[in-house]
Structure 1
Amino acid sequence: MMQLHVKNETNQLKAVILGTAESCGPTPKPEEAYDPKSLEHILAGTYPVEEDMIKEMDAFAEVFKKYNVEVFRPSILEDCNQIFSRDIAFVIEDKLFHSNILPDREREFEAIQHVLDKIDPKSIVRPPEEVHIEGGDVMPWNEYIFIGTYTGPDYPDYITARTNKEAVEFIKEQFPDKKVKSFELRKSNTNAKDNALHLDCCFQPVGKGKAILHKNGFLVEDEYQWLVDYFGKENIFEITKDEMYQMFSNVFSISPEVVVSEKNFTRLNNWLREQGFTVEEIPYGEIAKQEGLLRCSTMPLIRE
């Protein structure tokens, strides 16, 4: 049996589910887009092709191999985009939560059954139906659990509003000993530069007490300020609106010292190296066109 263990975003990674771009299907029609950035590329004729995305994910898998991480991949479903394994499930401590996601993505969860079979069924939790939650909004950070949410009355109008207030309450009940801190995110169905699809699109902690942050992703200035105070201004890399759009905050930590990043994120990668990190650069620009990047494609199962 596999013993799940995830306390934070940066401890040494031992086992992970990495999504797959194989058989991801034809370019969606505009009305099938789940987010404004995909829509933009569908309309412009620049939506990524399968072959390029497979190459990008292979490069990611190679980095994991280099650091002796056990990598699981989903079973391949025909004509189904299975790149973003973070959306369908996430682990906090020793529990795996089955996300209640957009209904037509339910079969993506079934495609990781071979991994779930290795886990004690008592450790797998399916939240009640009214709880909407996706892994991109959930960040365990030691005694804290950070959650991105949107609680405006117009929540149902936003396909980009993924995690609701019921989800925040649910996680509080599951982890009475943790401090659950939620953040209101800015949402837009139409403008990718004004849309923080998930918390990890505008914030992510990395090792050594550092964090990547984008102010405009947060609707409430005090909540943004809380993060600045918590990490300390000198430890934060503040990204611009354009860098948020390119998904600069969606890198992935293999350990407190090692960060996997997109090779074109020059300003960020230089900063990370200045702070003493090892930066593993890979090409991921095609996958980024779907408003998801490195953190979105991974679902950590065990961190030491």
Structure 2
Amino acid sequence: MKLNIQNETSRLRSVVLGTANSTGGEPKIEEAYDPKSIEHIKAGTYPKELDMIAEMNAVARIFEKYDVDVYRPQTIEDYNQIFTRDIAIVIEDKFIKSNMIPDRSKEIDGIQYLIDDISPNNVCTAVSGNTHFEGGDIVLHNDHIFIGTYKGDDYDNCIVARTNMNGVAYIRELFPNKIVKEFDLKKSTIDPKNNALHLDCCFQPVGKNKAIIHKEAFKNKEDYQYLVDFFGNENLFHITKKEMYHMNSNVFSIDDNVVISEKNFTRLNNWLRSINITVEEVNYAEIAKQEGLIRCSTLPLLRD
């Protein structure tokens, strides 16, 4: 299998799209591992499997419209396999397995059939059990790799902290010719409106030189300013706390002029169109209840 991912926006050719088949139903509160899922469990509004299947199939149809090869995980019964972004990441021609929280450790098994088709020399696995990272925290931008992390002393007890500095160091070691920049993100295990679960929950490049960003998600002003200086403030679309909560930055680019976005993101979608980006709108509000959206449910394998 051919792999090549340099950034978030070049023309997409192949992708793994998660599956909502046999997710195991509504978890108990103590089984949930993000505050937004807990919020909806308590409210009785946790998403139904059939609704999530329909939302994901709509995204699959858009990929087919643009002649993108779509792979799906093999179903593991009663197991959530929606968010394929986190189980691995492709950087250049390397397929890098994530070191995830134990509750999600079996998700990689669903795409083992794809891994078996990749040259073993291009499959990377972190040896150290204390090296943690998930794909949602890793955003590629040509010669830069942006990584969300959490530097708090309570990392080991913070279930919404998914990438540590050992993970950052591992990626830096794999790609010594890239500029690897980490960003310390704000985390909350109880309030989804103040929790940046991954970097793509508060930051996302679009087009050739623009990005979506939520300033308050960054613990350090210097980290936020780094991105302002890098992209230019005029090229940034700032989303509000409410918009971050609804996952506005978690869109997905098929090309630098085509983005898949949730249809209710009116302000964002209008801005995207104003900069000559075609917006393919989908319903994804049910899946969003699990603190993930379109980018979270995709694992790109090949871009031009």
Same fold (TM over 0.5): yes
Separation in 2, partners of 1:295, 1:82: 14
Indicate yes or no: 2:179 matched with 1:179.
yes
Matched with 2:89 is 90
Structure 1 residue runs of 4+, over 4 Å off?
none
1:149-200 Cα shifts (integer Å, max 9, x gaps) = 0011111121000000001111111111000000000000000000000000
Matched with 2:79 is 80
Q: Which moved more, 1:226-235 or 1:61-70?
A: 226-235
Matched with 1:32 is 31
Separation in 2, partners of 1:76, 1:137: 25
**CA RMSD in angstroms, aligned pairs only:** 0.7
Separation in 1, partners of 2:34, 2:287: 13
SS at match of 2:77: coil
Q: Which amino acid aligns with 1:132?
A: H
Q: Which amino acid aligns with 1:126?
A: T
Q: Structure 1 regions of 5+ residues with no counterpart?
A: none
Q: Which amino acid aligns with 1:101?
A: M
Q: Which amino acid aligns with 1:294?
A: I
Deviation of 1:54 (Å): 0.3
Matched with 1:71 is 70
Matched with 1:239 is 239
Q: Which amino acid aligns with 1:247?
A: M
Matched with 2:257 is 257
Separation in 2, partners of 1:126, 1:113: 14
Partners of 2:4 and 2:91 within 8 A in 1: yes
Deviation of 1:25 (Å): 1.0
Q: Which amino acid aligns with 2:187?
A: K
Matched with 1:278 is 278
Q: Which moved more, 1:122-131 or 1:12-21?
A: 122-131
Within a 5 Å distance, the mapping from 1:189-200 to structure 2 comes to 189-200=189-200
Within a 5 Å distance, the mapping from 1:113-192 to structure 2 comes to 113-128=112-127, 129-192=129-192
Separation in 1, partners of 2:198, 2:81: 18
Deviation of 1:35 (Å): 0.4
Partners of 2:9 and 2:208 within 8 A in 1: no
Q: With the length of structure 2 as denominator, give the TM-score of the two structures.
A: 0.99
1:212-248 Cα shifts (integer Å, max 9, x gaps) = 0001110000110110111111111000000000000
Q: With the length of structure 1 as denominator, give the TM-score of the two structures.
A: 0.99
SS at match of 2:64: helix
Indicate yes or no: 2:9 matched with 1:10.
yes
Separation in 2, partners of 1:107, 1:149: 23
SS at match of 1:112: helix
Deviation of 1:3 (Å): 1.6
Separation in 2, partners of 1:104, 1:184: 24
Deviation of 1:208 (Å): 2.6
Separation in 1, partners of 2:120, 2:106: 19
Separation in 2, partners of 1:54, 1:248: 21
Q: Which moved more, 1:222-231 or 1:99-108?
A: 99-108
Deviation of 1:81 (Å): 0.6
Separation in 2, partners of 1:81, 1:208: 33
Separation in 1, partners of 2:74, 2:157: 33
Separation in 1, partners of 2:218, 2:266: 24
1:98-139 Cα shifts (integer Å, max 9, x gaps) = 111011322210110111121111111111221100000001
Q: Which moved more, 1:47-56 or 1:148-157?
A: 148-157
Separation in 2, partners of 1:102, 1:147: 17
Q: Which moved more, 1:94-103 or 1:283-292?
A: 94-103
Matched with 2:288 is 288
SS at match of 2:189: coil
Matched with 2:54 is 55
Partners of 2:187 and 2:195 within 8 A in 1: yes
Matched with 2:303 is 303
Matched with 2:269 is 269
Q: Structure 2 regions of 5+ residues with no counterpart?
A: none
SS at match of 2:108: helix
Q: Which amino acid aligns with 1:114?
A: Y
